[in-house]
Structure 1
Amino acid sequence: MASSAVITTIRGAILLLALIVFLGNIMMWIIMPTDTYYNDWLLHILTATNSTFFGIQGPIMLDFTLPILFIAVLGCIYMHLVKRNTSIIQRGKRDENFKFLKRPMIVKGFGIVNVTELALFTMFIALCVWYYADYVRHCFKQVPLLQMTRSEKVWQTKFDRVAMVTGTTGNLCLTFLFYPVTRKSSILPMLGLTSEASIKYHIWLGHIAMGLFTAHGFLYIVYWTITNRLSEMVKWDDHYVSNIAGEISLLCGLALWITTYPKIRRKMFELFLYTHYLYIFFIIFFILHIGIGFACIMLPGFYLFVIDRYLRFLQSRQKVQLVSARVLSCETIELNFSKSRGLNYTPTSTIFINVPSISKLQWHPFTITSSSNLEAESLSVVIKCEGSWTRNLYDVVSSPSSIDHLQVSVEGPYGPASTHFLRHEKLVMISGGSGIAPFISIIRELIYITCTLKCETPKITLISVFKNSSHLSILDLILPISNTPSNSCNLDLQIEAYVTREKMHPKDKIESPRTILFKPNSDDVPISPTLGPNSWLSLAAIISSSFIIFLVLLGIFTQFVVYPIDQNTSKLYSYTKKGSMNMLFICFSIVVASSAAFLWNKKQNAKEAKIQVLEESMTSESSNSSNGEDIEMESLPIESIIKSVNVHYGQRPDFERILLDVKESSVGVLVSGPKKMRQDVAAICSHGQADNLHFESISFTW
């Protein structure tokens, strides 16, 4: 207990330090457009950081890049301590003074937005408005000086300044754009967020950023037209802003932006997926457009994203071992992979899957239904036919002449750092169709807690809505194929299943799941943690060492290449070459640091896999000579765990009546399913009369 208290204190201190650094960084954003910054602060910063190693790029990195990377390293240490403190969270009273912060405030239009999210978004918009307005005021003061070198009217010069500030404000949005899509982020978990739950922030920021960048480009085209300087559109200035690079970047962004339109994204997902890779060219030409110095403002978020993306690339090169599949009558399959015992994940985690025989480029996320505690050597996902990719996968696996081996690659798992389900007296889990998948992982974890650890768990009511009775077979997946505990479990689980398109029980019996076994391949490996058991410390080392390598390379380059030209000639060193070399240094630094950490952990994972295979073979031999008790345990009926299963035909659940009738003082309401279902439940939980309901939406759709 003393050790746990010390760890909790250290985590609190880390959070406080990260908050102070972040507020300091935000203060720099607030101060930057003011006269105080340019007339006072900037002069002192330039004097303090005057160096031939980094030049003007140095103070910008000191103000905007270094603080965020420092917070990311602090986040890694924080997450490592969270992982170490693995004691089960006992049921406790939630802080009633702050529960309103997570209460749904908006349920339509922008998605389900709680009070905290609305407040933060409002503050961000206020920051953008302040940044834009004060920058315009500051730039208008420069108009008389600019008029001395320009043969144009005052209003035209002001028009030019407004166009410039519009693009500069877009850079503010771009700065935060990549944090939500960094899957292995050490910053989001400190805020209690996951990458999956933060996608909506990425969407909001993307729309605002592209709106500002599009207006920036349009305003400059108008400006060049009214000043008879349309030839500026084809100008690539090596020592100032490159217009062509900006136009290429904008075209890439527009192509990417257009395909995010919901109808295009849903009906032509592959087009949406492939055009999203244009972000690479968007960023490259964006840096060449504005110069690396100013780009360092948005660098930290993108820097962390590149590290995450490269680690995902390294993991995706490995072929993982697919052990078996369960085929259900409702065109749904459960894939069971081999995993190392050192790989731990929390309920509701997701994993991205690629099957090269179907598509070499497409990666699709699926919720993990297994529990890393209950099933130490296997990982399961449920896949329902809802598109061409999943249809092809189902046909390959379920066909009578099913192949005996299927090559699969994965990225992940990704998920919340910890869960708080045990804090509630009761859990009401509401699912629609395949939305039941995350709840299977929660139930399996609670089975482990109550049956193995003998800890008290909340009462559970699972409300599942299905279209047809054949989908009831998904309920058979609540229990894993093996490692099912004995019937001495004291889990209070009640299932209310609603079949909406049938009015009575079908005459034909629902087929039991069919299990298909796959043969092992010598090239396949169990799913293992990419950076080993101490993955967060490894990530901290990668962030720190890669940035140090980058600074060393940048210092040498600036000292011996850039500085001599800038100081000894009347012509400055090419902005294009400087930006290109900086991007090269960043990529080189990340590749070296990440590859070293990945390869070292790959060797450790290989050793663990050999030990695991040896133990499995010994266990298999002993089980073959046993009296068959294990077989009886695996065939344990689902009724031994579930208190009751009620099937309702031809009706939909009355969510308002069900939720308001729950009398426990703390009720966790978890919803996973169609958008309208999530909105309806959120609206009920937002009522003032539902003070005991704590809403949480589990959604992996955009």
Structure 2
Amino acid sequence: METRNVISTFSSQLFEWKATGIAVLPGVISLVAGLLMWVTSLHTVRKNYFELFFYTHQLYIVFVVFLALHVGDYLFSIVAGGIFLFILDRFLRFYQSRRTVDVISAKSLPCGTLELVLSKPPNMRYNALSFIFLQVKELSWLQWHPFSVSSSPLDGNHHVAVLIKVLGGWTAKLRDQLSTLYEAENQDQLISPESYPKITTCVEGPYGHESPYHLAYENLVLVAGGIGITPFFAILSDILHRKRDGKDCLPGKVLVVWAIKNSDELSLLSAIDIPSICHFFSKKLNLEIHIYVTRQSEPCLEDGMVHKVVHPSVKTPWTNGCSMSVLVGTGDNIWSGLYLIISTIGFIAMITLVDIFYINKYNITTWWYKGLLFVVCMVASVLIFGGLVVVFWHRWEHKTGEVEANGNDKVDLNGEETHNPSAAELKGLAIEEDVQNYTTIRYGTRPAFREIFESLNGKWGSVDVGVIVCGPATLQTTVAKEIRSHSIWRSANHPLFHFNSHSFDL
């Protein structure tokens, strides 16, 4: 009997929704939503069931709203600052991601990696080591996946490239979609461009560091595992462009250490054509590339020409004339600051007016209702005041984009930014050492980082060396331990290694 009474009392309390004080039922709903998000965030679930993790996390709206209903406006205001910043970021990302971005070309490499070249406005600012979130509507309307940018900001004013390794269901569908498009184009079975199978992409970003920190070191060691080489293509391209154009660029020596499982991944080297970027690059940059093929004891016959193969490429015949939006790119601190400040002022003004002319006037004391009004004011201030800033920001983007595009066209016509080699240079290019001469490939072994760092002691001397690692967590841990050990026993005339990890793994 007592047990029944306890259960009955507990059940009645569990479904209570008090007007004054803590409302229990909204708290239970918020707790359940939070627990579901937490469970699906565990590493095993997140890695093996990414879609479950992603879709479950859309419950953040339920979690936040019912949290406000649970505790009321006063207690909710304790965590409101962080939630308000999240709403600001989410609205900006949503506005940017509404735009469909043109795919200039798509290519499939022999190793199965895909290369997409996306359209961007000339006034978009970003740095090497940036990444974007990509959505393909034909595959999913909700899924966004991060990919490192493989192109340098100096590669061109109108495009940005990403490399995509086929690892899961989403990337496999993208590969199949590209294969369908390639077959249709190759067989010439389609009558009009409108009948081509499409790849409708939307982009968030680029995200990344506000400053190109890789240029702050005298020498660089770039350590990559597998597809982790992608952001280093952007770094190499950025450095080579700066060396060619005579711009500020501190790194004079670059060592690339790349570990791959199979030799077919060597085709990734075709994503960057170093001699075409900087003629006689060996005179301006001391570059070494050490490649370790861990699962093969000897090279295949075609490995010597693997990065010279012509890969299936598709130039998309359909376009909507849209490029990426600059709203979330780096370098727009003034507009970002205005967006934050005006939205915050608008929220303070709105919550004050609601408090004076509604809550106090009508003597509203219901906690959960006041909490709901608080959330509504947060969202409304971002939509109204922040939206107003975004509209002007968008107009500014459009105008400056047109100005820079016209300026670049004039420069191209005048030939001021062309870098065609002279007759003497063309003659020299015929005997220019190919990048393969600076590449060492070892089979059946892994990088011995202790030996690598020790060998640099005598070669480089006392300089600041930036070590950037992109790859699995085990690779990053191994390199970090070796750098720590080297720093402890470092002599005055040895390099000082600075560890930097580049990863956006979930």
Q: TM-score, normalised by structure 1?
A: 0.62
Unpaired runs of 5+ residues, structure 1, are 1-221, 567-571
- Paired residue for 1:599, among 353, 378, 391? 391
Deviation of 1:528 after TM superposition, in Å, equals 3.4
Quote the residue 1:506 is aligned against. 300
Quote the residue 1:75 is aligned against. none
Residues 112 and 165 in structure 2, CA contact (< 8 A), matched pair in contact too: yes
Unpaired runs of 5+ residues, structure 2, are 186-195
Quote the residue 1:495 is aligned against. 289
Q: Say yes or no: does 1:348 pair with 2:129.
A: yes
Q: Find the aligned partners of 1:622 and 1:397 in 2 and give their Cα distance.
A: 38
Residues 99 and 324 in structure 2, CA contact (< 8 A), matched pair in contact too: no
Q: 1:409 to 1:532 in 2, by over 3 A?
A: closer
Residues 346 and 416 in structure 1, CA contact (< 8 A), matched pair in contact too: yes
Identity of aligned residues (%): 30
| Count of paired positions | 468
- Paired residue for 1:392, among 146, 168, 173? 173
Q: 1:547 to 1:259 in 2, by over 3 A?
A: same
Q: Find the aligned partners of 1:573 and 1:334 in 2 and give their Cα distance.
A: 58
Q: 1:228 to 1:408 in 2, by over 3 A?
A: closer
Q: 1:228 to 1:236 in 2, by over 3 A?
A: closer
Q: Say yes or no: does 1:576 pair with 2:362.
A: no
Quote the residue 1:473 is aligned against. 267
Q: Find the aligned partners of 1:690 and 1:305 in 2 and give their Cα distance.
A: 44
Task: Give the stretch that moved more between structures: 246-255 or 588-597.
Answer: 588-597
Q: How does 1:485-564 map to 2 (within 5 A)?
A: 485-487=278-280, 490-508=284-302, 509-510=305-306, 512-514=309-311, 516-519=313-316, 521=318, 523-530=320-327, 535-564=332-361
Q: What SS does the aligned partner of 1:331 have? A: coil
Quote the residue 1:118 is aligned against. none
Q: What SS does the aligned partner of 2:290 have? A: strand
Q: Say yes or no: does 1:333 pair with 2:137.
A: no
Task: Give the stretch that moved more between structures: 245-254 or 393-402.
Answer: 393-402
Q: What SS does the aligned partner of 2:500 have? A: strand
Q: Find runs of 4+ consecutive structure 1 residues off by over 6 angstroms.
A: 531-534, 612-623
Q: What SS does the aligned partner of 2:183 have? A: coil
Task: Give the stretch that moved more between structures: 395-404 or 406-415.
Answer: 395-404
Deviation of 1:594 after TM superposition, in Å, equals 2.6
Q: What SS does the aligned partner of 2:254 have? A: strand
Quote the residue 1:698 is aligned against. 502
Deviation of 1:647 after TM superposition, in Å, equals 0.8
Q: How does 1:113-512 map to 2 (within 5 A)?
A: 230-399=11-180, 400-401=182-183, 405-453=198-246, 455-479=249-273, 484-487=277-280, 490-508=284-302, 509-510=305-306, 512=309
Deviation of 1:337 after TM superposition, in Å, equals 1.5
Deviation of 1:398 after TM superposition, in Å, equals 3.8
Deviation of 1:401 after TM superposition, in Å, equals 1.5
Q: Find the aligned partners of 1:376 and 1:479 in 2 and give their Cα distance.
A: 18
Q: Which has the higher strand share?
A: 2
Residues 385 and 394 in structure 1, CA contact (< 8 A), matched pair in contact too: yes
Q: Find the aligned partners of 1:622 and 1:542 in 2 and give their Cα distance.
A: 39
Deviation of 1:584 after TM superposition, in Å, equals 1.2
- Paired residue for 1:685, among 479, 483, 495? 483
Q: 1:339 to 1:641 in 2, by over 3 A?
A: farther
Q: Find the aligned partners of 2:293 and 2:60 in 1 and give their Cα distance.
A: 43
Q: Find the aligned partners of 1:501 and 1:549 in 2 and give their Cα distance.
A: 59
Q: Find the aligned partners of 2:337 and 2:31 in 1 and give their Cα distance.
A: 34
Q: Find the aligned partners of 1:258 and 1:674 in 2 and give their Cα distance.
A: 23
Task: Give the stretch that moved more between structures: 527-536 or 296-305.
Answer: 527-536
Quote the residue 2:446 is aligned against. 652
The higher-RCO structure (CA 8 Å, 6+ apart) is: 2
Q: Find the aligned partners of 2:433 and 2:504 in 1 and give their Cα distance.
A: 30
Q: Find the aligned partners of 2:405 and 2:499 in 1 and give their Cα distance.
A: 43
Q: Find the aligned partners of 2:34 and 2:257 in 1 and give their Cα distance.
A: 42
Q: What SS does the aligned partner of 1:373 have? A: coil
Deviation of 1:507 after TM superposition, in Å, equals 1.6
Q: TM-score, normalised by structure 2?
A: 0.84
Residues 685 and 695 in structure 1, CA contact (< 8 A), matched pair in contact too: yes
